Amino acid sequence: MDKPVIVTVDDDPGVSRAVARDLRRRYGQDYRIVRAEAASDGIEAVREMRLRGDEVAAILADYRMPQMNGVQFLEAAMDMYPYARRVLLTAYADTDAAIQAINVVDLDHYLLKPWDPPEEKFYPVIDGQLDAWLRTERIERSELRVVGDRWSAQSYAVRDFLARNHVPYQWMLAEDPEGAQLVKAAGEGCHLPLVVTVDGTTMESPDQATLATAVGLSTTPATDFYDLIVVGGGPAGLGAAVYGASEGLNTVLVEAHASGGQAGQSSRIENYLGFPDGVSGQQLADRARRQALKFGAELLAARKVTHLEPRGQARVVGFKDGGEIAAHAVILATGVTYRRLDAPGLDEFVGRGVFYGAALTEAPSCQDTEVYVVGAANSAGQAAVYLSGFASKVHLLVRSDGLERSMSHYLIEQIAAIPNIEVHVQTVVVGGGGSGHLERLTLSTKGEERTVDAQWMFVFIGAEPYTSWLGETIERDAKGFVLTGPDLVQGGKRPRNWPLRREPYFLETNVPGVLAAGDVRADSIKRVASAVGEGAMAVALVHRYLEKQ
């Protein structure tokens, strides 16, 4: 088989030769290096490779080129090689342009010139990009097709599940010509949403488990006993799975919906260590998921856990749809869900104009309309910024008298600089209505009510932990958050027989061998970085617990 190709394009002959020389020196044995000194020559070379069926692993393009800049070049090349890793070569003066390119072409990396010595500044970057390309599924295939109603909560649930699990699909309305043909082919009495797989198999209004199996997600455990069970696939759970598997523990992560949790729904996280240009929640979750799989962790999707029971030295987890698995230790990382608005007329429109969380699948449908975002924390601010790129206007509704107490400063500055975002302080939603979907909201500002036309509302108001399934096994506070460490002692509920120390450590629950990490834990910081750190720390404590057994 022909070698895969690394393409480099730079209009400066000296730089072009230097890039090609460094690439051949390190990668020439396994890759073919193709260089061009003009954007037009580079595009032509890429076209010819596409026609021949060559594989392109990475494309390096200089930002400043006269015919088209590096961002435009990479955008054109994406159409022909969507899986190639994209690297922008830039001078320090063009760093801002490189950062903006991340949103335009989903840039994988930007590299400052010069990069001497290459062993320190060049090769590690290219090594990482090529490794990511090798691990990417590059088989081009037709997409799933989903047919449904625009204002259907079930249709939204299917699309949201597929999107959050990184499954590509084509969405069409039942009244569209192609959608109508598929519905007719499915037969009389077809129940929407209709999902049509690549091989033509149809599923009518499928549940998550059926859908997960159909798209190739793992739903069945490989064994019935593990070293470690992680319940929940948010940042804390993914962090625990990565560290547990990388340190030799037979680890399984169980997730009821999709990896990433609430953070996975974030349009952009800009204050996470190691990502100075920001990263979307989906990208971060996908990278963490692939990292966990790389180390050998098992990931179960669409499996809802309903009980936890200590049985001797084993900790047993049971599923809603039947069956159970056991392990030496369990880490609870089930996270939280957004609290529902307590206002009449809204519950019936969930998934039909009212959305709890970012609901990124809906953003394109908000084009040129006014949307309402409820909340004052970072998640609400990130959603408002993202939606402002689609909506004609974004109304950010804040209960308090400002954003300073609950939102990061960088987000407040971004919101102030975006002209189509309007912040309404001391404003709450007191009602809603519509026929078939949300059509209006009743707002109260400083006690004065008004009704506004509204088809889209995204809610981010506090959090409720998913812990009711724990029953009496695990001690929790009045709000349902898991009590750990000093909180157990202060509440007068000392843990039973924890072997680590006389006083419990801050992630340990009242049951030996069961720990809690991330947002589900009482008094946790509620940040992505702290959740990941707690997941890693929990694994360290699991090791110590196992050593004492």
The CATH number that domain 354-461 falls under is 3.50.50.60
- 131-135, 462-466, 533-537 — most confident range: 533-537
pLDDT of residue 258: 81
Measured from the Cβ of residue 322, the count of other Cβ atoms closer than 10 Å reads 7
Residue 245 has pLDDT above 90, yes or no: yes
Tell me the CA distances in angstroms from 121 to 7, 30, 100, one per residue in order: 19, 21, 22
112 CB-contact burial (10 Å; exposed 0-12 / middle 13-18 / buried 19+): middle
Amino acid identity at 211: L
Question: pLDDT digit string (tens) for 323-374?
Answer: 999 999 999 999 988 889 989 999 999 999 999 876 677 888 899 999 999 9
Structure tokens at 11: 């209009």
Kindly report whether the peptide bond that precedes residue 486 is cis, defined as omega within 30 degrees of 0: no
Question: Taking residues 477-494, what's their average pLDDT?
Answer: 77
Q: CA-based angle 197:202:205, to the nearest 5?
A: 110
pLDDT of residue 178: 83
Q: What is the dihedral of CA 101, 107, 113, 115, to 10 degrees?
A: 160
Residue 385 has pLDDT above 70, yes or no: yes
> Does the domain at residues 145-214 carry the CATH identifier 3.40.30?
yes
- Distance of alpha carbon 329 from alpha carbon 311, whole angstroms: 12
Question: Taking residues 60-84, what's their average pLDDT?
Answer: 85
- Distance of alpha carbon 495 from alpha carbon 500, whole angstroms: 11
Confidence of residue 200 (pLDDT cuts 50, 70, 90): confident
Confidence of residue 526 (pLDDT cuts 50, 70, 90): confident
Q: Do residues 510 and 527 touch, judged by C-beta distance below 8 A?
A: no
pLDDT of residue 542: 95
Tell me the CA distances in angstroms from 278 to 130, 206, 258, 417, one per residue in order: 21, 35, 21, 18
Q: Do residues 240 and 246 touch, judged by C-beta distance below 8 A?
A: no
426: left (phi over 0), alpha (psi -120 to 50) or beta: left
225-337+464-547 and 354-461: same fold? Answer: yes
Confidence of residue 403 (pLDDT cuts 50, 70, 90): very high
Tokens 């929790």 sit on residue: 476
- Distance of alpha carbon 231 from alpha carbon 327, whole angstroms: 12
Confidence of residue 142 (pLDDT cuts 50, 70, 90): low
pLDDT of residue 491: 55
124 CB-contact burial (10 Å; exposed 0-12 / middle 13-18 / buried 19+): exposed
Residue 496 has pLDDT above 70, yes or no: no
The answer to which of 42-51, 126-135, 286-295, 315-324 has the lowest mean pLDDT is 42-51
- Distance of alpha carbon 519 from alpha carbon 96, whole angstroms: 34
- Answer CATH for 225-337+464-547 from 3.30.450.20, 3.50.50.60, 3.90.1300.10, 3.40.50.720: 3.50.50.60
Residue 502 has pLDDT above 60, yes or no: no
Residue 492 has pLDDT above 60, yes or no: no
pLDDT of residue 503: 46
CA atoms 509, 481, 156, 386: torsion sign: negative
Give the 3-state secondary structure of residue 31. Answer: coil
Q: How far is CA 374 from the centre of its chain?
A: 21
- Distance of alpha carbon 71 from alpha carbon 236, whole angstroms: 35
Task: Please name the fold of domain 5-135.
Answer: Rossmann fold (3.40.50)
- Distance of alpha carbon 334 from alpha carbon 357, whole angstroms: 16
User: Which residues contact residue 26 at a Cβ distance below 8 angstroms, ignoring those fewer than 6 apart?
Assistant: 118, 123, 126
Residue 98 has pLDDT above 80, yes or no: no
Indicate the domain borders of the chain: 5-135, 145-214, 225-337+464-547, 354-461
Which is nearest to 58 in space by CA: 138, 161, 147, 120?
138
Question: Taking residues 180-207, what's their average pLDDT?
Answer: 87
Confidence of residue 504 (pLDDT cuts 50, 70, 90): very low
The answer to which of 218-227, 260-269, 304-313, 501-510 has the lowest mean pLDDT is 501-510
Question: Taking residues 58-74, what's their average pLDDT?
Answer: 87
Which is nearest to 36 in space by CA: 83, 70, 71, 2?
70
Which is nearest to 254 in space by CA: 217, 214, 204, 309?
217
Amino acid identity at 285: A
Residue 500 has pLDDT above 60, yes or no: no
Structure tokens at 115: 């990069």
Residue 141 has pLDDT above 60, yes or no: no
Higher pLDDT: 248 or 167? It is: 248
Q: How far is CA 537 from the centre of its chain?
A: 22
Q: What is the pTM of this model?
A: 0.73
Question: pLDDT digit string (tens) for 156-182?
Answer: 999 989 988 888 888 999 998 888 888
Residue 490 has pLDDT above 80, yes or no: no
Question: Taking residues 394-420, what's their average pLDDT?
Answer: 94
Across 380-391, b (16+ Cβ under 10 Å) vs e yields bbbbbbbbbebb
DSSP-assigned states of every residue in 102-152: HHHH---EEEESP--SHHHHTHHHHHHHHHHHHTS-----PPEEEEE-TT-
Higher pLDDT: 21 or 113? It is: 21
Q: Do residues 458 and 366 touch, judged by C-beta distance below 8 A?
A: no
Q: How far is CA 480 from the centre of its chain?
A: 25
